[in-house]
């Protein structure tokens, strides 16, 4: 029997309303601290082109760390397995901006989704493109079929003005020889990267190639081969939701990537990509209502990878 996705998304939207006031916005980035937590959007983009939405699905938001997924895909597509000499593939078990583990492990980040790993990936892209942040923006525009996507200059500036820990991480990796470009170049580009704004529909569409074994659903353009797509899905499952990846897998059961802007994108391989957004975060930096929404989605649809 066909799943009535619209009915399910509408139901989820109603269910999570009571959670919207319970999360806390990312106050350490001043521009994000001004966003009202009383917002929720959800969109499912099916590989056959159908789109289902509920709530604030068309509201733009700063996707933040979700851009790490697209940066990794772009770097992996260009460099292949060479990237793994500079960044690992293991869950960190520590906060996403931890310094202690990085020093203990000689400047090699545990995975591409913590801040240190994302800075290395940006450094890899900076060696290949004149401006890594612009190359990534153009890549995401193509994946989302939305040429108007752009950076939020105010968010980028706000992040750059408070990027002290990221500077420390970058300088530490530079000292270990794992950052090849100037620290300032990488931090500036990374802050701009994280400021890209999208809505839930655009985000789900942009990630749908990873639900389609590495190919863009609407025209068949291959971004990654099926094996590489599988590997990125595995990294999303084990490392994509900060140091709550185990609990997220337990509750939701889908590969996903979250951001402190309140967005989460998740994949049902072979079927769809789904994006949720609600700015109120839990203690681990994931959207409180967003995680619950995805848990309810996999429960109501019986769609997970388990």
Give the pLDDT confidence of 249-260 residue by residue, as tens digits: 999 999 999 999
Give the pLDDT score at 205.
98
| Range name among 21-25, 28-32, 46-50, 299-303 with the lowest pLDDT average | 28-32
Same-domain pairing of 84 and 41: no
Catalytic residue among 45, 68, 257, 276: 68
Same-domain pairing of 224 and 171: no
Q: Rounded distance, CA 200 to CA 202, Å?
A: 6
Written as six digits, the tokens of 165 are: 């820990």
**DSSP 8-state assignment for residue 111:** -
Q: Which domain holds residue 87?
A: 65-194
Residues of the chain with pLDDT > 90, as a percent, come to 92
Is pLDDT of 97 > 80?
A: no
**What digits encode the pLDDT tens for the residues 292-305?**
999 999 999 999 99
User: Domain boundary residue among 131, 165, 194?
Assistant: 194
Confidence of residue 27 (pLDDT cuts 50, 70, 90): confident
User: Domain boundary residue among 179, 194, 209?
Assistant: 194
Task: Look up 28 and say whether it is catalytic.
Answer: no
Give the pLDDT score at 28.
86
Same-domain pairing of 145 and 239: no
| Domain CATH for 131 | 3.40.710.10
Q: What is the mean pLDDT of residues 48-60?
A: 98
Q: How many domains does the chain contain in total?
A: 2
Task: Look up 85 and say whether it is catalytic.
Answer: no
Domain-embedded: residue 162: yes
Longest dimension (CA), the chain: 58
Written as six digits, the tokens of 134 are: 């612009």
Catalytic residue among 190, 195, 258, 276: 190
Helix (H, G, I), strand (E, B) or coil at 44: strand
Catalytic residue among 63, 260, 265, 276: 260
Catalytic residue among 62, 65, 229, 287: 65
Same-domain pairing of 219 and 176: no
Task: Look up 68 and say whether it is catalytic.
Answer: yes
Q: At what angle do helices 183-194 and 115-128 cross, to 10 degrees?
A: 110
Same-domain pairing of 46 and 137: no
Residue 210 and residue 266 in contact, taking contact as beta carbons nearer than 8 Å: no
Same-domain pairing of 235 and 278: yes
**What's the pTM value of the predicted model, to 2 decimals?**
0.96
Where residue 25 falls (left for φ over 0; alpha for ψ -120 to 50; beta otherwise) is beta
Task: Look up 21 and say whether it is catalytic.
Answer: no
Give the pLDDT score at 1.
67
Task: Look up 22 and say whether it is catalytic.
Answer: no
Catalytic residue among 242, 265, 278, 287: 242
Confidence of residue 99 (pLDDT cuts 50, 70, 90): confident
């Amino acid at each position: 029997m066909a799943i009535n996705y619209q009915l399910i998304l509408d139901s989820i939207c109603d269910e999570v309303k009571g959670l919207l006031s319970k999360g806390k916005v990312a106050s350490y980035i001043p521009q994000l601290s001004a966003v009202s937590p009383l917002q929720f959007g959800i969109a499912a983009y099916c590989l056959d082109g159908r789109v289902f939405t509920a709530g604030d699905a068309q509201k733009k938001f700063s996707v933040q760390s979700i851009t790490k997924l697209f940066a990794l895909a772009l770097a992996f597509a260009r460099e292949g397995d060479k990237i793994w000499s500079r960044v690992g593939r293991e869950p960190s078990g520590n906060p996403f901006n931890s310094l202690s583990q990085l020093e203990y492990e000689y400047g090699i980040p545990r995975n591409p989704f913590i801040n240190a790993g994302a800075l290395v990936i940006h450094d890899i892209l900076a060696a290949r493109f004149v401006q890594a942040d612009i190359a990534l923006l153009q890549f995401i525009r193509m994946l989302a079929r939305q040429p108007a996507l752009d950076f939020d200059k105010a968010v980028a500036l706000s992040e750059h003005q408070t990027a002290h820990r990221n500077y420390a991480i970058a300088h530490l990796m530079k000292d270990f020889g794992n950052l090849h470009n100037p620290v300032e170049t990488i931090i500036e580009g990374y802050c701009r990267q994280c400021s890209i704004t999208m809505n839930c529909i655009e985000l789900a569409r942009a990630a749908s190639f990873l639900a389609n074994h590495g190919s863009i659903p609407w025209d068949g353009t291959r971004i990654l081969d099926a094996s590489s797509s599988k590997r990125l899905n595995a990294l999303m499952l084990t490392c994509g939701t900060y140091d709550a990846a185990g609990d997220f897998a337990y509750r939701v059961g889908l590969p996903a990537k979250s951001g402190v802007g309140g967005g989460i994108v998740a994949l049902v391989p072979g079927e769809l990509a789904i994006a949720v957004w609600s700015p109120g975060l839990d203690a681990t930096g994931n959207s409180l209502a967003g995680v619950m929404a995805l848990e309810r989605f996999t429960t109501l649809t019986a769609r997970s990878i388990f």
